Amino acid sequence: MATHKLLLLPGDGIGPEVMAEVQRVIDWLNAQGIAKFETEQGLVGGSAYDAHKVSISEADMAKATAADAVIFGAVGGPKWDSVPYEVRPEAGLLRLRKDLGLFANLRPAVCYPALAEASSLKRDVVEGLDIMIVRELTGGVYFGEPKTITDLGNGQKRAVDTQVYDTYEIERIGRVAFDLARKRKNKVTSMEKRNVMKSGVLWNEVMTQVHAREYKDVTLEHQLADSGGMNLVKAPKQFDVIVTDNLFGDMLSDIAAMLTGSLGMLPSASLGEVDSKTRKRRSLFEPVHGSAPDIAGKGLANPIAMISSFGMALRYSFDMGDLADKVDAAIAAVLASGLRTADIKSEGTTPASTSQMGEAILKELQKLHA
């Protein structure tokens, strides 16, 4: 059996709390001989700043490069509000994405049957929802230069962020979206703002070309990102795969989270290019949510997004799709039993703690595997 090297980066706030629940699953898989994971731990975000005055150390970057996959918790929090911008906690995550070349961020939003009542939207709007947001992750306004604040000397400052996309960046994220659609409901909706932004014009043009050249069998639709956001809450089941840029993808995926009941539900996979020789790709798996400073340290965090992100690692990095299906089924079963963490709307039940939820999911997984 192959040994898979994982780097665990729990980070800050609820990051370590939800990572402990993934560790529980890993320990069980190893103990049962179902898989062989070798894990290392590292520091990222505020915890790295406290230890080394950087948002991630060179040693931990080297570990991330050497790992078969990185499992990431969350970073940030008010404690680090006034640290220099270059070493703020979020910079550690952005460096990991950029330096590992993780250009494709897959954010599935699935409404589990038991949670159709938990969404802030009506049951019939969200019931059966299964969409995939494909967010471009290493380009756009997150990384474009110049990125500056200049003192204009007249009591005014000017802040500049730059949205940049090259053809190849749009082509490769488009291919990821079209390939995924072929295994799903065969539809891609591309979102940009071509009515205002040059990058939107190019995005639209390149998506259309890639589609016409390579993916005529897939349905391609274009929506402006603002009304696309509206449609996401009006009639989300019209979507299958949504492909969009870095910033729109960030916002649209938090919105999509509420269709599933809670931000604490949404996992993600950040993937690099497939190496033509080894057929492997770099990867990092991270929940969509942040460090949730308002509930950190209280054992209240929902570990489902984190456990489900580990499920995505099994599927996308380790070719263990059957096991990933079982992780999803275990989560569905626990939710069907009525167990809820406090972030999920429920009627009159006492909320489960992070570890109670993690334990219950592992128990179901054990049953499904027996």
**C-alpha separations of 224 from 203, 227, 243, 370 in Å:** 11, 6, 12, 48
List the single partner that 94 binds among ligand IPM, Mn ion, ligand NAD, none, CB under 5 to 8 Å by kind. Answer: ligand IPM
- Give the range of 60-68, 72-80, 223-231, 270-278 binding ligand NAD by CB under 6 A: 72-80
- Pull the structure tokens for residue 240: 């299958």
| HSE toward the beta carbon, residue 177, CA cutoff 13 A | 35
Q: What is the contact mask toward ligand IPM in residues 224 to 263, using x (rule: CB under 6 A)?
A: --------------------------x-------------
**Is the distance from CB of 15 to CB of 42 less than 8 angstroms?**
no
Which amino acids are annotated catalytic?
142, 193, 226, 250, 254
Residue with the shortest CB distance to Mn ion: 250
Q: Quick check: 358 binds ligand NAD (CB under 6 A)?
A: no
Binding mask 143-172 for ligand IPM (x = CB under 6 A): ------------------------------
Task: Flag whether 107 is marked binding.
Answer: yes
How remote is the C-alpha of 208 from its chain's centroid?
26
Q: 28, 35, 40, 90: which one contacts ligand IPM (CB under 6 A)?
A: 90
CA-nearest of 44, 27, 36, 25 to 286 is: 44
Q: Under rule CB under 6 A, how many of the chain's residues touch ligand IPM?
A: 6
Q: Terminus-to-terminus CA distance in the chain, angstroms?
A: 20
Q: Which residues of 273-297 are buried (b: 16+ CB within 10 A; e: fewer)?
A: eeeeeeeebbbbbbbbbbbbeebbe
Applying CB under 5 A, which part among 177-185, 244-252, 273-281, 341-349 lies near Mn ion? Answer: 244-252
Among 63, 97, 135, 289, binds ligand NAD (CB under 6 A): 289
Supply 80's token pair.
């680090």
Out of 101, 144, 229, 293, the only residue in the binding site for ligand NAD (CB under 6 A) is: 293
Q: What number of residues does the chain have?
A: 370
288 binds ligand IPM per the rule CB under 6 A: yes
101 vs 280: CA distance, rounded Å:
13
Assess 77 for contact with ligand NAD (CB under 6 A).
yes
The one segment of 37-45, 188-196, 206-214, 247-255 that binds Mn ion by CB under 5 A: 247-255
Q: Which strands, in side-by-side order, build the sheet including 130-136?
A: 36-41, 3-11, 69-74, 283-285, 269-271, 104-110, 130-136, 241-244, 187-192, 219-224
| Single residue of 94, 125, 224, 332 touching ligand IPM by CB under 6 A | 94
Q: Does 192 interact with ligand NAD (rule: CB under 6 A)?
A: no
Binding-site annotation: residue ranges: 77-90, 97, 107, 135, 226, 250, 254, 290-302
Per the annotation, where are the binding residues for NAD(+)?
77-90, 290-302
